[in-house]
Structures are given as C-alpha cells and as structure tokens.
Chains A and B, each alone.
Chain A
Amino acid sequence: MQAKEEGGQPARPEARRGEPASDALLKTLTIPGKLTTSAATRDGTKRREVEARLDITRARETRSNRDAGFGRLSLGDIMTMKKLIGGLVFAAVLVTGSFAAQAQKAGGTFVFLVQPEPPSLASYLSTSGPIGLVAPKIYEGLLDYDTDLNPVPALAESFEVSEDGKTVTFKLQKGVTWHDGKPFTSADVQFTVMEVLSKVHPRGPNSFREVTAIETPDEHTAVFKLANPAPYMLRALSAYESPMVPKHLLEGQDPRNADLANNPVGTGPFKFVEWKKGQYVRLDKNENYWKEGLPYLDRVVGRFIPDASTRTAAMENGEVHYGAYGAIPNVDVVRLREMDHIGVTTDGYAMINPVSLIEFDTTRPPFDKPEVRQAISMALDRQFLIDNIWFGYGKPATSALSTNFAATGLYAEGMPNYPAKADVAAAKKILDDAGVAPDADGVRASAVLDLIPYGEDWRRAGEYMKQALGDIGIKVELRYEDVPTWLKRIYADYDFRMNVNYFYQLPDPVLGVHRHYGTDQIRQGTHFVNSSRYSNPKLDSLLAAGATEADATKRGAIYKDIQSILAEDLPVVNLFEMQFLTVYNKKLKDHETSALGAYGSFERAWLDE
C-alpha cells in the first residue's frame, strides 16, 4: 500500500450556498493559548517547561448564561470553546507530563521513509501523500491539532470567532521569519488563502468557500470575512492541509509553475537543504525557529526506497527510524512488531480518516439500479477483507460516514445495507425482488471492476470481490492499470462501471465526504470527487444545510438524514475504515504529539541515542 495521491488537479472555487444560521449563539471567544517555553541546559540535556496559559473571556454573556448555554452548544462553539478549553488544558497536561517524565536529548539525524518519492514539495498545490510527509516540516499552518483533534496554536497564537460566526480573527505569532530571513506577516496569510489555497489547492476551494475577504489591520492580525459561518474551516488550517507560503516568493507568478515547488521556503522547524532525486530529501534544523529551544533534531532525512522488502530491512536494521502510511507492508509489520526495538501504532491518522470503498457509475446499467448496489454491499464480507488481506488492521464500514465522526455527533448508527459479514441470501433476495434475474449460466449482470493501483493488497481485495460477487451472480472481470491511466479513466473519461478506491474523509464531512455525493461535485477531470455522477436534489440541500449549520444537535440530525439516504442509494459503497500503520524505531521519542501524525512537523521529536 502506498500513500495516496489525492487531488491531482486544482479545483475551481465553489459557488457559495447555504443560509446563515439564524439561531447561532451570541458569542465572542478569545482563547489565547500561549505556549511559553524556556529551555535550560543541564548536564548536556535540555529540559523544557511548558506553561499553557488559558484565558477565556466571553463578551456579552454573563457567567450564568454561559453555563446555561453549554447544553445547546453549536458546532462553532464546540470547535472554538469547549474543545479549545478542554484541548488546551489537556495538551498542557500532556505536554508538561511527558516533558517532566523524560528529558529530551538534542541533536541527531532522523531518517524516515517517504514512499513513493513526491513529485514536488508544493503542499499548497497538491495533497499527495508523500508531499504531506515532507512539506509540513518546512511549512506551518495557522493552527495545529492535538491528538484529540483540538486546535492548538501554531502560526496563529489565538483566534476569535465573532458572534454571528462570519468573522474569524487570527492573532499571529510575533517574531516569526521565513527561512530566507524575511518576516512573516498577515499579508502572507491573506495572500496564501486568497491567491493560492482558494485557487490552486485541491481541497482549498472547499475549505475556504465562504471566505470573501481577509483584512489585515496590522502585521499580526488577519481577519477572515465569511459569507456564512464555516466551522469546518477551523479544522482545515494545519500545515498539511493549508500551509502558509511566502508572498514575496510567489507574488506575481503562477503558483503552479513557481520554483518554490522544488525549493520550499517556510517558517517551520526545519529548512530545506537538498533533494537528491531518487535517493533522499534533506532538511536541517532551523536555528531561528520561533519556538524557543525547538526543534531537537539537527537533521531530518526522508529516504525514497521503492522496494518494499528493502524498506522493511532498513527499518529492521535501524537504518531508518520511521515509516508511515503503509511504507512497511502489513505482512511485514506482523513480523516486525514482535521485535524489541520496533514499535507499531495506528495513531496519527484521525485527521485523515481514510475509508476504502467502491465507486459505481450510477448513470449506466447494471449499477444504475440502487438495488444492485445494495446487493453488492450485502454480499461483501468486510471482516474477511480486513482479517485476511489487511492482517486485522481495519474496521468494517457501517455508514457513509466513518465512526470517527461519532465524537462530533455526526455519525449515525444502525444504517441498513452495511453488514460486517456477508449475507449472500439477503443479497440474492434484493436482486430477485428488483427483477435482476439470472440467465442460464446463473449470471445476473457482468461488469469490469477497476482497482486502485496502489499495491498488492488491492489486487487481493479485487480477487476476493470477484469471487464474492460471482456468488450472487454478478460476473466480474478485474482490471489493473497504471496510476495516470486509472485516474483518467475514472475521473476524466468516466469509462468505468465499478472502481475500488479509498478516500480521506478528513476531520469534517464538508471537507472529505461532500465531494463524493454533491451534484456540484460532478467535476469532470478533477480527481477524487463525485465520479459516480450521483445527483439527488434532496441530498444536495441537506449537504448545503449541513455545511453551514452551527448547532451541533441540529447538524447531527441533518447528517443522520444524509446517511439514511446514502445507505439506501449507495452511489458509493464503503468497505472499511482503514487503519494505516506507523512503524518506528523505539529510539525515536515524542513523534505522536500532533493529530497529523506523519504529516506533522516533528518539532518535538528527539532521538534517544
């Protein structure tokens, strides 16, 4: 399995839609979460104390109002208040706790696997997986997210959401400079969001769809003006999703052709030094990094090793310290995890939220009938796939949304047509009732199944599905192609019937799920959007409502309706929630400090050698 390349083509800005939430709570929150760090050297080791100071003020509301208001929190509230408070307190405890427990050692070269080699380092142009492994160590976002997905300060030291949810004010860190020495200011934020991310980023036009303007009253303040409340935007501000790029190096050129793609200049903890094509990319410690005493590592090297067994051997003998996103195949992980010096974790993918699935062409037979798609969902043994092909790493899908959305109340339980084990009799009955009868050879329908060309696991899955669908009379022929041909077939030519794929659902459905189902997401030529060409006006209006609804309970109800419709119509059949594996050498410490996992900055990672 390889890290997936998402969104090869820049997307057009979306049409704005949705109603302002009329009953949004009156709120203005100022939540400056300040990380004050002081580093002291003692006996050659650095100790670090972190003090998180929380200051919460709530204008125009009395204390009792606030307490009473907790019961009917809007999503915006949850994002900005509950989680920030809880999150920052939690983060502070976690951070101080872990720092107190173990003294960090500075220095050392951290070597990790980047698989496959990225096409460029332009994370503002592409969300391709391998770019995500390298670029967030160079660029930073306005916010970062702790392991519970709560926002924590990054380039923005605090933010404030206005009472109507239509103005978000970011206070930026002071004294931040780009790697070339120029200061980082609010003008960079304005330029990045308005001129780069909203225009050429694959998911940016969606994340920032409501942003009409960004005002910069001073160098350290950026005010986002929104057409409608966009609570999901605050989840899309990480270094991976929305990297801040230097205006002075991109202004006046087409960002798609700028030299910055291969010579990145960011504000992050590591500076780009060299990229030896086919071998490695080298980043060195940013001595002027604005977080005092950080990073600990002297050097970060991302190595490109195309052969899976060579990667495993390199991990086994300590040549590399870290491999994520399936860089080490599951079959080898099962062996490596028994070793004393190797650790394995499924953490660090919550922001990514990957789900494997089958996309159907809903415009042509045989998959224009929802019953046929339901029968397929019923006939596939999701647990079999997980147990035998992914070695137990995964969770059967139970709805259009991943169970990871249960935390935000958006996931709905008990959807039909999503059994964990196959129910062949029920699948056949659905087909019989729908009048899809078998011919003399027992064949009810036949179709080619395209498979995502990301490695052996997917082939095995295809071979399984061919058998399982054969059992209910759907004759399947398998087709493997190379990545560009496959992408063109599915997303540009629509020359397919059913396609095995996986999508990142991301931390909010608006960011990762809507693109699958909305009529406005039928965008021929854009990768990883609505290739099923499913169009349902009722669903469209629910999606629009879900995007702008600020009240958490109401939003949950909307998404329950959405999931009910999708469980019946199934333009896309979800297979299972994937669990990517991160394999690391236990010498490496504190690499899981961010929700972004491998897509994080590694500023606090250190080597115990």
Chain B
Amino acid sequence: MTRENLAHFWRLYRRNYSAVAGLAILAAIIALAATAHFFFPDDPFKLAGRPMSPPATGGFLLGSDSLGRDVAAGIAHGAKTSLLIGLVATLVAVGFGALMGGLAGYYGGWIDDLLMRTTEMFQTIPSFVFAILLVAIMKPSIESIVIAIAVVSWPAVARLVRGEFLSLRNREFVQACHTLGMSDLRIMLGEILPNCLSPIIVTGSLMVATAILIESGLSFLGLGDPNIMSWGFLIGAGRTVLRSAWWVCTFPGLAILITVLAINLVGEGFNDALNPRLRERR
C-alpha cells in the first residue's frame, strides 16, 4: 500500500468517529499490555497483600482477589495474553481459512466439493462447545487454546474467501493472466488475493474480538492455562466470591467488554473505509 493509498484510507476511516474512538481505546490497551512490566514489575500471580482487599485499599488500585493477588496487575499482564491469543489465533484461522477457501474457489469441481463439505462439517458443530472439547482433550495450555480457537474460526473465513475467489476467477484480468501463461499459484497469490483482501481484513479484525471472548469463556470454565495470567483466568478465579468481592470479576469483565467493543468499532471502521460500495455513501 503506497503512501497516498494509506492517506486516502485514513481520510475515509476517520469519517467514522466511533471507529476513531475504538482505535484510540485499542491503542491504549496495547500500550497497557506493553508497559505492564514497567508499572507492575512483579509476577501477577504474586500474593501481594491481604486477600480480598476492596479497591483503593491496602495499596491495591482495583482490590485484591481471594489469595491476595493484585487485580490491577492481573489486568495489565492479562491484556498481553488476551490480545496475543486473539491475534495469533486469528492469524492462524485466517491463514488456514484463506488457503482452503482459495483452493476451493479457484479450482472448483471436486476440490471445491471436498473442501466445502469439510468446512460444513466443522460449521455444524457449535463453535464454543467444540472449543471446550478440543481444549479438554488436548489439556489446557496456551497452545491448545490458540489451536482450538483457530479450529473453530477458520470455516467462516474459508467460505468468505471461496465466494470472493469464485466471483473473481472469471473476471477479464484473471483471464488475461491465464492467457499470459501465469502459473495458478501466481494468479491466486498475486492477482486474486489482493483484490479480496478488504473483506478478509474486516472479518479478521472482528474475529480477534471473538477469539478474546472464547479465550475468556474457556478460562472462566476452568479450561484456561493455569500458568498464564489472562482476563478469563481472573474472572474464573473470582466467580466463586462474586457476592463477597465483586471487584475481582467486575474489573477484568469491564476490560474484556471495552476491548471487544473497541475491536468491533475498529472492524466497522475498516469495513467503511475498505468497502468500495460504502466508500462514497457519506
């Protein structure tokens, strides 16, 4: 993307004020994650003081949980985990989904049938239940959670990419490439893929939000990685004391809410800016 393109994109993007706000919030959360070690140098699992201290007492900004762990430190360190899981899982899912969808859409025929029936098979299983099953089988760890989220997320991308490839593969510019004798791989990667990047980016950005929610849900159910601090872990650990120590669950819950909202706003902004049909609407 050239400098002019980028400037044009930003001009379109900033027309959507809520998207700009979302971007700002997301930037703040990323900054929080990046500076976690600076503001909270200790291990977030450290038993830092009196258990169940309410917010703004005992040196805890957001209170402490049932073992005396600092909730604020947990949120800061957890931000890293949650964002990282969201990003990595989405990249894996988009990569695999685009490969499957691209092959199916480009070649059609039996390859399309085979790949799409496979995709449908995955789509028929409710995604969260499937994720629980996968993590339970593989034993909870950060890798297995990323794999589980990717496995339940890729079919949507595959269907999307297949649709785009199907509509693009018979366009004149693709036929021209065929006439020039370009290889299939080059046509797919160099010509068709860049032309369907916009919807992939929009879907991908929304998938990051879903991935964070799935990770939190898994941790809440006790299927998170017990050795890594995440927001879902904080909520899961505080759930049992919700009626006596509301702050343990509430603040990480708010963090998830705000982050997911911000990512959705950003995704919406991408959609507005990248979708040619919406581009000139406002």
Instruction: Report which A residues bind B (CB closer than 8 A).
Output: 329, 331, 334-335, 388-389, 456, 459-460, 462-464, 466-468, 470, 477-482
- B45, B51, B140, B241: which contacts A463 (Cβ < 8 A)? B45
A456-B240, A463-B45, A464-B47 in contact; A479/B66 too (CB < 8 A)? no
Query: B223 to nearest A CB, angstroms?
Result: 9
B67 touches A459 (CB 8 A): no
Residue of B at shortest CB range from A388?
B51
CA distance A462 to B222 in the complex (A): 13
A329-B240, A389-B66, A480-B140 in contact; A467/B222 too (CB < 8 A)? no
CA distance A335 to B245 in the complex (A): 13
CA distance A466 to B43 in the complex (A): 12
Residue in A331, A334, A459 whose Cβ sees the most chain B Cβ within 10 Å: A331
A460 touches B67 (CB 8 A): yes
Chain B residues within an 8 Å CB radius of A459? 222, 226, 237
CA distance A480 to B233 in the complex (A): 14
CA distance A141 to B43 in the complex (A): 54
CA distance A167 to B227 in the complex (A): 57
B67 touches A464 (CB 8 A): yes
Query: A461 to nearest B CB, angstroms?
Result: 9
Chain A residues within an 8 Å CB radius of B66? 388-389, 460
Query: A116 to nearest B CB, angstroms?
Result: 16
Sorted nearest first, the 6 A-B pairs with minimum C-beta distance are A478-B226, A388-B51, A331-B240, A467-B47, A456-B240, A477-B227
A331-B240, A463-B67 in contact; A480/B45 too (CB < 8 A)? no
CA distance A538 to B51 in the complex (A): 44
B241 touches A331 (CB 8 A): yes
Chain A residues within an 8 Å CB radius of B51? 388
26 CB < 8 A contacts A-B: A329-B240, A334-B244, A335-B243, A388-B51, A388-B66, A388-B68, A389-B66, A389-B67, A456-B222, A456-B240, A459-B222, A459-B226, A460-B66, A463-B67, A463-B226, A463-B237, A464-B67, A467-B45, A468-B47, A470-B43, A478-B226, A479-B139, A480-B222, A480-B226, A481-B139, A482-B136
CA distance A335 to B237 in the complex (A): 19
Chain A residues within an 8 Å CB radius of B279? none
Chain B residues within an 8 Å CB radius of A331? 240-241, 243-244
CA distance A456 to B68 in the complex (A): 16
B46 contacts the other chain (CB 8 A): yes
CA distance A470 to B47 in the complex (A): 11
- Which residues of chain B in 147-204 are interfacial with respect to chain A, using CB atoms and an 8 Å cutoff? none
Query: A339 to nearest B CB, angstroms?
Result: 14
CA distance A558 to B68 in the complex (A): 43
Chain A residues within an 8 Å CB radius of B136? 482
Chain B window 35-75, contacts with chain A (Cβ cutoff 8 Å), 1 for yes, 0 for no:
00000000101110001000000000000001110000000
Residue of B at shortest CB range from A449?
B226
CA distance A464 to B68 in the complex (A): 10
Residue of B at shortest CB range from A468?
B47
B226 touches A462 (CB 8 A): yes
CA distance A276 to B105 in the complex (A): 52
A478 touches B227 (CB 8 A): yes
CA distance A478 to B227 in the complex (A): 6
Chain B residues within an 8 Å CB radius of A388? 51, 66-68
CA distance A329 to B140 in the complex (A): 24
- Which residues of chain B in 224-262 are interfacial with respect to chain A, using CB atoms and an 8 Å cutoff? 226-227, 237, 240-241, 243-244
